[in-house]
Structure 1
Amino acid sequence: MTTSQPGSTAAPLPLVRQLAAFAVEIRDRGLPARLRAEAAERLLDCLGNSLLARDESAPQAVLAVARDWGSTGQAHVIGSDEALTASAAALVNGTLAHAMDFDDSHMLSVLHPSASVIPAVLAAAEVTGASGPRLLDAITVGTEVCIRLGIAGYDPDLGNSLFFDRGQHATSICGTLGAAVAAAMLFGADEDTIAAALGIAASTGAGLLEANRTGGTVKRMHCGWAAHAGVTAAQLARAGITGPPTVLEGRFGFFQAWCGDRARPEAVVADLGERWETSEIIVKPYPCNHFTHPGIDAALRLRAEGVRGADVVQGELRVPTAMHRTIGDPAAAKASPATGYAAAFSGPFTVATALLGGGGLGVWFDDFTDAAAHAPDRRALAGVIRCVPDPDLDPLFPTRLPAVLRVTTRDGRGHEIRVETSRGGPDVPLTAADKERKFRLSASTALSPQRVDTVLRAVRALPEGGSASEVLASCAPETPMESPAA
């Protein structure tokens, strides 16, 4: 891949030019079957998460606002016959995709790549009538760009994402740029226009993580806004708006603004097109913050060994320092979460839930209702489980999510489980059957079993053909009166 002008000894091309050339190259030659199959798996997971969130208050509020903007019937809302403008549909679908915190993750970048990019791709693909293979190629390029921006903001010395350490939501910030390049690909943009779309998107990405600590529902719409802003950036670039050529690496550019001097912009294009970070994306097995997963794994193993939650009188959950900031601090709020959503970000509460007996895949959404968050037995057990940072675990983070769970039972016996990497992560991947089961459980909350099968067939047909319209139509109920199976 060319990184400088032919025949020139000048400095490498600006990063957005290199990314734009990469996007056009992939669009022109297409991706291998393996990468398209992986993208289809991620799309299926995103659809399941979105269908699960269909009736949640945050997506419904966003949908109400999007309706007020008017509709031209260009792109459909997941799980509905309703069509909106492309950017409005991306907003709603991105909110659906992230609303339940069940979306996929990439460890080193410390972000969720698909929930911003896939809704933007679905909207752009439906508007343009793009084929299944082109749709999957755009998903792959968009998530690759998103991840690489996140990796460039990872500080090995700090052992954490600079975005995350500063309280910034890299998922939505980097996701805006990934969504923009993916949408621009499908809109048929040339290199100049894709570079412009990236430059525009860099001024529109945003997201703060304070809601993880003290509450608020705004985080649920972060990926929606990123998808919306990405589609809009691609449209504005087509209309002639331009961005600065050094928008990423410049003195007042993206990385300096978000991460300061410690970012590594060169990581954005290192081995670009040869090493695919998208292949490292992992699917969540539990519907809660990813940092809680190793603690849940440990608690479920204790249960399997015969430890009863009701018998636990004291516990300690040890996690890497960076993870503790999200799931252990502030300690009082984590021990007594105010809402079900807050409970999904609590190390003590999720461990208590898994010990007492969760549903679904070991822990399920009925474990994170407001009522469940205030259940006396869960709050009592969470109250005796301390979550503490363990520097000895820091070297494993973020490529792995480890934890050590120690509990003492009424008989005075101590029990310890050490998890080196959470289920679904490196060395413990979910099987194809695991992923399909997760999708079926999620989608069946909104669709009949027959309709769930239809969605599976539509998504699995994409590597060879099909379209976004067919996929979205498969997600809509067969009739207005159809209801999910009991």
Structure 2
Amino acid sequence: MTLARRQAEFAAGLRFEDLPENVVSSVKERVLDTLGVALAASPLETSDAVRTVAAGWGSGTASAIGMPGRVSPHAAALVNGTLAHSLDFDDTHLPSILHPSACIVPASLAAGQAFGSAGRDVVTAAAAAYEICVRLGMGAYDDERRNNVFFEKGLHATSICGTIAAAVAAGKLAGLGADGLEAAIGIAASMGAGLLEANRMGGTVKRVHCGWAAHAGLSAASLAHAGITGPPTVLEGRFGFFNAFCDGRVDLDAVVDGLGSRWETPAIHFKPYPANHFTHAGIDAALALRESGVAVGDIERIELGVAPPTLRTIAEPAELKARPPSGYAAQFSGPFTVATALAGGGGLGVYLDDFTDERVRDEKLLALAARVECVADEESEELYPRALPGVVRVTLQSGETREHRVTENRGGPGRPLSTDELALKFSLDAGRVLPEAAVEGLRDASLALDVLTTLDELTSFWEDT
């Protein structure tokens, strides 16, 4: 039995009654979190640009944030997926280093509206998609190099694996059986794409990656429904997914290991800070040092130690990371995020208002960021990427050195965000564009998704606002 067939049979046979309670709760919380992040991203210029494109695709049955009326499901998936990933505030799975929700939630909601699905069916389809998505990423984890092969090659694993996951979610909601889902997987494997150069050198295209993955996943499911097929060995074949993207450096067992019996979804990390997840240990550590009494005016120099594979994302090129050209670029800067945390941020410690274009022109903050030296940290390397650890050391003008090490990120299974913290994050995010009553209604509907008879009970809170 091929890998795609095993994935297809798992997804086709999965029933809501099969889902553990913590998986159901986790999926609902991820819908809540994803919608909050997408709403917060609604005012961005890039959001307007994607909506302009989507508007040209005509009307339909699905709801896109910030667009009046209904649009085609493919357009809604593109818009909502783009918004969900635009602020780098979406969740992360380890060691796959994927951000699955920004692809899966928009695809599931768009398909659910298209097919008139009940909430419990959307939860079930999304759960199947999450499990397939993260295992594709886990298959490409190179234990010897302690890195994901996709990332070594500059490929955005989220959008590549997320396209297949979106196809599974949409296909299951469309009523495809195992044969149809196998075809959808085979088709979607030809559609996933994404390059990470924007992380290093700028550009906003990465924001679109998850929207395009959600859109492409719906397209793959539609094509499968119409009779297009894919190769059965699309994942493990000589010219298949893992050989093409990862040069055959893959653990094929990890792709299906524990599928349906060991659930990865509840272990996916929620993000407390709107920045690249590689920066979070530094933020955690800097906040702890600040809370311990370290004052910005007393600091002579700062050292941020992280796992070596993360340096190219948050530390290189050094000149650009010390003086990010935009608020978006600052979200991928180790020096800027550490400086922000030391100076004092908002929200859950550091928040969206800390990453505006105006904020990155604050010369006092940039002077502090210039004192941050990013280095490889041996202890962090040992834990990466099953964790995203780091250490911050500050040398004070008195000559004293203070240090704080983080081995478990806030928001992960070892240090989970409380229900109140998740609710605070959602309220802060959604409250940027929705009135209080709509924020509360959307929160309650998201957390009751499994009992909703129609997704209109969810989407009504943001439509036409």
TM-score, scaled to structure 1? 0.94
**Percentage of pairs with the same residue:** 52
Distance, in Å, in 2 between the alignment partners of 1:220 and 1:39 is 22
Q: Equivalent residue for 2:362?
A: 375
1:93 aligns with 2:99: no
Distance, in Å, in 1 between the alignment partners of 2:131 and 2:77 is 19
> C-alpha deviations, 1:403-437, integer Å up to 9, x for none?
11111122222111111122112421111111111
Shift of the alpha carbon at 1:272?
1.0
> C-alpha deviations, 1:311-355, integer Å up to 9, x for none?
212111000011212111111111111111111111111000111
Partner SS state of residue 394, structure 2: strand
Partner SS state of residue 408, structure 1: strand
Partner SS state of residue 203, structure 1: coil
Q: Counterparts in 2 of 1:22-421, with a 5 A limit?
A: 22-27=10-15, 30-71=18-59, 73-421=60-408
Distance, in Å, in 2 between the alignment partners of 1:78 and 1:370 is 24
Partner SS state of residue 185, structure 2: helix
The farther-off stretch of 414-423 and 342-351 is 414-423
Figure out how many residues of one structure are paired with residues of the other and give that number.
Answer: 465
Distance, in Å, in 2 between the alignment partners of 1:134 and 1:271 is 22
Q: Equivalent residue for 1:465?
A: 452
Distance, in Å, in 2 between the alignment partners of 1:465 and 1:440 is 21
Shift of the alpha carbon at 1:28?
7.7
Flag structure 1 segments of 5+ consecutive residues without an equivalent.
1-12, 481-486
Shift of the alpha carbon at 1:287?
0.7
Given that 1:248 and 1:265 are in contact with CA atoms closer than 8 Å, whether structure 2 keeps it comes out as no
> C-alpha deviations, 1:106-131, integer Å up to 9, x for none?
01111101100110100100011111
Given that 2:16 and 2:121 are in contact with CA atoms closer than 8 Å, whether structure 1 keeps it comes out as no
Distance, in Å, in 2 between the alignment partners of 1:317 and 1:28 is 45
Matching residue's letter, 2:419: A
Distance, in Å, in 2 between the alignment partners of 1:392 and 1:212 is 25
Matching residue's letter, 1:238: H
Shift of the alpha carbon at 1:30?
4.6
> C-alpha deviations, 1:281-330, integer Å up to 9, x for none?
11100011111011011111111111112321211100001121211111
Partner SS state of residue 475, structure 1: coil
Partner SS state of residue 451, structure 2: coil
Shift of the alpha carbon at 1:260?
1.1
Distance, in Å, in 1 between the alignment partners of 2:291 and 2:68 is 44
Given that 2:164 and 2:192 are in contact with CA atoms closer than 8 Å, whether structure 1 keeps it comes out as yes
Given that 2:69 and 2:463 are in contact with CA atoms closer than 8 Å, whether structure 1 keeps it comes out as no
Matching residue's letter, 1:167: G
Partner SS state of residue 358, structure 1: coil
CA 1:369/1:446 → structure 2, altered by over 3 Å: closer, same or farther? same
Partner SS state of residue 300, structure 2: strand
Matching residue's letter, 1:36: V
Distance, in Å, in 2 between the alignment partners of 1:171 and 1:59 is 19
Distance, in Å, in 1 between the alignment partners of 2:152 and 2:461 is 41
Distance, in Å, in 2 between the alignment partners of 1:98 and 1:367 is 18
Distance, in Å, in 1 between the alignment partners of 2:421 and 2:274 is 14
Distance, in Å, in 1 between the alignment partners of 2:414 and 2:46 is 35
Distance, in Å, in 2 between the alignment partners of 1:310 and 1:177 is 50
Distance, in Å, in 2 between the alignment partners of 1:208 and 1:468 is 33
TM-score, scaled to structure 2? 0.98
The farther-off stretch of 248-257 and 369-378 is 369-378
The farther-off stretch of 278-287 and 386-395 is 386-395
Matching residue's letter, 2:205: V
The farther-off stretch of 23-32 and 393-402 is 23-32
Distance, in Å, in 2 between the alignment partners of 1:107 and 1:211 is 22
Matching residue's letter, 1:272: L
Partner SS state of residue 463, structure 1: helix
Distance, in Å, in 1 between the alignment partners of 2:228 and 2:394 is 59
Partner SS state of residue 217, structure 1: coil
Given that 1:59 and 1:221 are in contact with CA atoms closer than 8 Å, whether structure 2 keeps it comes out as no
Distance, in Å, in 1 between the alignment partners of 2:269 and 2:391 is 22
Matching residue's letter, 1:344: Q
The farther-off stretch of 26-35 and 143-152 is 26-35
> C-alpha deviations, 1:129-149, integer Å up to 9, x for none?
111111001111111111000
Given that 2:305 and 2:392 are in contact with CA atoms closer than 8 Å, whether structure 1 keeps it comes out as yes
Matching residue's letter, 2:27: A
Partner SS state of residue 221, structure 1: helix
Runs of 4+ in 1 over 6 A off after TM superposition: none
**RMSD in angstroms over aligned alpha carbons?**
1.3
> C-alpha deviations, 1:246-269, integer Å up to 9, x for none?
000000000001111211122111
User: Which of residues 433, 445, 455 is equivalent to 2:420?
Assistant: 433
Partner SS state of residue 386, structure 1: strand
